[in-house]
Amino acid sequence: MIISMRRHATKEQIEHVCERIREFGYKVHSIAGDERVVIGAVGVGDVTPCLEMLEATPGVESAVRISAPYKFVSKEFKQEATRVRTNGVEVGGDEFVVIAGPCSVESEKQIMETAEGVAQAGAKILRGGAFKPRTSPYDFQGLEQEGLELLAKARAATGLAVVTEIMSDKDVGRVAEYADMMQVGARNMQNFALLKELGKCGRPVLLKRGMSSTIKELLMSAEYITAHGNPNVVLCERGIRTFETATRNTCDLAAVPLLHELTHLPVIVDPSHATGKRSLVPAVSCAAVAIGADGLIVEVHPCPEKAYSDGAQSLDLGQFQKMMRDLKGYLALWSESRRQPQPA
Ligand code: PEP
Ligand code: MN
């Protein structure tokens, strides 16, 4: 923090400000200029409460934050990229990781057929919701326990790792028994009780950006998980809500390189929820590869027109296989760029 004192701040006021900053646990460096005193405060942790105190303290003209309010997830804290490992797959490493599967787990036949198809096409992780966050209480809410068991069966049959959504802190233990990776959906990005519990769950977390959340808020949510003990977090850009209605959301692709500047955590893109339209998924997927994402999460269903949720944005197995083939050339360039030294 940099604190500028008022021009005629008294010696007592300056000393009082320094004393209060020290009480918050920060080190104080004050510089007396010709006109005013400027105080630098350094230390760890979120400075927000200290800033609020300073704004209300006599003699202070302004107090500004100079470092980000998140620490563990920041590049300042750790320079090298975090590789999140789950069931033999590494996200954030030398390979672009594709996660694929249906929006919801619907039946044994549906999840098995999808798992086999996406595995053959090169996906490494199977997605599928057993607990579904639906806008309407009358829509399909997921198979819950049965869905978790079916996902475990699909993993056993294909060797794919499994990611599934967790909606409540009360279900963390039970979902962690079945899933290799815990997905926090857009609607729960700021469910702080859930984030704290996930800090202790021992499984990597796929944290999706809230539909109206800023990059800073996304990183603060990731900070919750890491500060509570779990450094294995993958971030996901899944589109944000804007004035545009032609697509379900607006895909904020620039968020990918920006996040890579700010954090060491891997970043993947969800072209399905970002667009809401199956026809746009392959193009946005190419763009995600080109812009340096660490992977994709794509909705795939053996018969999208019969899907219980998100059919319009789901690829069928043939479309997914074609997309994976078409991505190959871009992925070769992606691998080459990963081998080049990254700018600091
Ligand atoms: C999902 O992945 O099916 C989902 C509900 O996504 P989001 O939380 O991004 O809306
Ligand atoms: Mn969905």
Q: Is residue 11's pLDDT more than 90? A: yes
- Residue 309 CA: nearest ligand 1 atom is 3
pTM above 0.85, yes or no: yes
**Of 261, 259, 243, the residue nearest 209 (C-alpha):** 259
Distance CA 21, CA 46 (A): 13
DSSP secondary structure code for residue 209 in this structure: P
Question: How many whole angstroms from 160 Cα to the centroid of ligand 1?
Answer: 20
pLDDT-derived band at 344, boundaries 50, 70, 90:
low
Q: Which protein residue has the closest C-alpha to ligand 1 atom 10?
A: 186
Within 6 Å (CB) of ligand 1, which residues are found?
Answer: 103, 129, 133, 185-187, 208, 238, 270, 273
Token pair listed for 284: 């946005």
pLDDT, residue 43, reads 77
Nearest atom in ligand 1 to 187's CA: 8
Residue nearest atom 6 of ligand 1, based on CA coordinates: 185
Indicate which ligand has the atom closest to the C-alpha of 309.
2
**Dihedral through CA 22, CA 226, CA 168, CA 304, nearest 10?**
140
pLDDT digit string, tens, across residues 266-316: 999 999 999 999 999 999 999 999 999 999 999 999 999 999 999 999 999
- Name the pLDDT band for 342 (thresholds 50, 70, 90): low
**Ligand 1 center to residue 169 CA distance, Å?**
17
Chain segment 202-226, per-residue pLDDT in tens: 999 999 999 999 999 999 999 999 9
Closest CA to 294 of 342, 248, 247: 342
pLDDT, mean over the chain: 95
Residue 87 region by backbone torsions, left for phi larger than 0, else alpha for psi between -120 and 50, else beta: left
CA separation for the pair 37, 14 (Å, rounded): 8
* Span from the CA of 251 to the centroid of ligand 1 (angstroms): 14
Most informative mutation of 136, 183, 213, 238 for ligand 1 (most atoms within 8 A of CB): 238
Q: What is the share, in percent, of the chain residues with pLDDT greater than 70?
A: 99
**Closest ligand to the CA of 127:** 1
- pLDDT band for 45, please (50, 70, 90 cuts): confident
Round to whole Å and give the CA distance between 59 and 4. Answer: 9
Task: Write the pLDDT tens digit of every residue in 165-189.
Answer: 999 999 999 999 999 999 999 999 9
pLDDT at 42: 80
Which residue's alpha carbon is nearest to atom 1 within ligand 1?
Answer: 103
Q: What is the pLDDT of residue 343?
A: 58
